[in-house]
Amino acid sequence: MARAAVLWFGKAMSAVPLRTMTDAAAGQRVVTVLGATGSIGDSTMDLVRLGGERYRVEAITAHQNVEALAKLAREFNVRFAAIGDASKLDELRDALAGTNIGYGAGESAIIEAAARPSDWLMAAVSGAAGLKPALAAVDRGATIALANKECLVCAGDIFMQRAARAGATILPADSEHNALFQALASGNREELTRVIITASGGPFRTWSVAEIEQATLAQALKHPNWSMGQKITIDSASMMNKGLEVIEASYLFALTPDEIDVLVHPQSIVHGMVEFSDCSVVAQLGAPDMRIPIAHCLGWPERITGPAQKLDLAKIGSLTFETPDFSRFPGLRLAYDALRAGKGATTVYNAANEVAVAAFIGERIRFGAIARLVESTMNEMVRTGSMSTPATADDALAVDHNARKTAETLLPQIALKAS
């Protein structure tokens, strides 16, 4: 599998200097947070809050939660706040009354927030809806901490090519990819033999196929180790999250599917490992707290003091590892299939999964049907000749749109079919 343009994070990257600060006179680093009201947004704002005068917040965004957005906007005295839902403009205006904070509503306002100059941007919108805003930051050559994996799975090659062209720096904020980013600094591309990302296994790690089929929303939302937004928590239970992450790793680091392995590691302490030609394996460890990888991105290329729990391995006692079970978690197998198939298959994988998760939350399908809907959508798109390699972001979004329509059409049949 060929990858056209890549940002390699090995030794060469450690020499990249810190970008000039926009508010250099004040000695402040200017930051923007897309998805500021979510789980990643919350952790990011927490770190910015702890940094005090070191940071100034340029812009923040949310989708519907005006109250939380306005509260953050006032606390951080941001220059611009954007709400994705266009119908919430008046509500946001009222919530910001008496301040000088600029505001806007709708997708264009989110894109404006991303496009405004800042030294560092956190991309933490959930889902492929984050693609266009992230690209607006890419096109201005920003330093981007990328949490929003779906935008890479939807349009990875295009995203990385545009980043390379614009001179943008993509810092992986997803814990496993951040671990790889840190471990990759130990060697060069030609010395790498494979990477391993770990998976907690989620709440259904030991469940049978029949039990997983019938799992309820409340059960799927009970992640054993991580506290995260609703969509990614369900993706973790189905292991679709790990599938998305295999694809994310492939695009971020220009790796073939054969160079990416997954290990189930229920303690979530080792996040990622890189194996080199001399058989050395370099790993990154830390408590399961997203403030660790986010702090690494926020401080990069330096280290900042982080508020997470220090790792006490003696207290944890043992770290265990298992091979993932593709038959109980078919969503993971499908991610490898999609990567190998190319031709927009990863875009379809992501879009169909977003439809399936929404349908599961809406009690239209059983938990076990999530992966079935993704597989059927991928097959149907191949059968109808609807698959083609997207050349632009608009092409990728067109494939995404078609895949969502196809998945919606297939939903009633999938809902009726038992496993």
Residue ranges in contact with ligand NDP by CB under 6 A: 35-41, 61-65, 84, 110, 124-127, 129, 147-150, 174, 226, 228-232, 290
Interface with Mg ion (CB under 5 A), residue total: 3
Say which residues have a Cβ less than 8 Å from residue 212's Cβ, sequence separation at least 6.
204, 328, 367, 368
56 contacts which partner out of ligand NDP, Mg ion, none, CB within 5 to 8 A by kind? none
Q: In this complex, which beta carbon is closest to Mg ion, that of residue 78 or of residue 334?
A: 334
200 contacts which partner out of Mg ion, ligand NDP, none, CB within 5 to 8 A by kind? none
290 contacts which partner out of Mg ion, ligand NDP, none, CB within 5 to 8 A by kind? ligand NDP
Helix H, strand E, coil C: the string for 330-366 is HHHHHHHHHHHHCCCHHHHHHHHHHHHHHHHHCCCCC
Q: In this complex, which beta carbon is closest to ligand NDP, that of residue 131 or of residue 387?
A: 131
> Residue 282 corresponds to which tokens in the numbers above?
């370099």
Min separation Cβ 40 and ligand NDP, Å: 4
Contact range with Mg ion by CB under 5 A, out of 109-117, 173-181, 186-194, 352-360:
173-181
110 contacts which partner out of ligand NDP, Mg ion, none, CB within 5 to 8 A by kind? ligand NDP
C-alpha distances out from residue 169 to 3, 8, 252, 355, Å: 18, 10, 11, 31
CA 116 and chain centroid, separation: 22
Q: Choose among 126, 107, 274, 265: nearest CA to 188.
A: 274
Contact range with Mg ion by CB under 5 A, out of 70-78, 168-176, 251-259, 384-392:
168-176
Say which residues have a Cβ less than 8 Å from residue 114's Cβ, sequence separation at least 6.
32, 34, 59, 61, 121, 123, 133, 134, 136, 137
Work out whether 174 is an interface residue with Mg ion (CB under 5 A). Answer: yes
Q: In this complex, which beta carbon is closest to ligand NDP, that of residue 387 or of residue 396?
A: 396
Min separation Cβ 153 and Mg ion, Å: 13
Instruction: Indicate the DSSP class of residue 141.
Output: T
Q: In this complex, which beta carbon is closest to Mg ion, that of residue 55 or of residue 181?
A: 181
Q: Choose among 158, 155, 218, 192: nearest CA to 344.
A: 155
Place of tokens 């083609």: 388
Min separation Cβ 63 and ligand NDP, Å: 3
Name the residue number minimizing CB distance to ligand NDP.
38
Please confirm whether the linkage preceding 301 is cis (ω < 30° from 0).
yes
39 contacts which partner out of Mg ion, ligand NDP, none, CB within 5 to 8 A by kind? ligand NDP
Min separation Cβ 225 and ligand NDP, Å: 10
Q: Return residues touching Mg ion (CB under 5 A).
A: 174-176
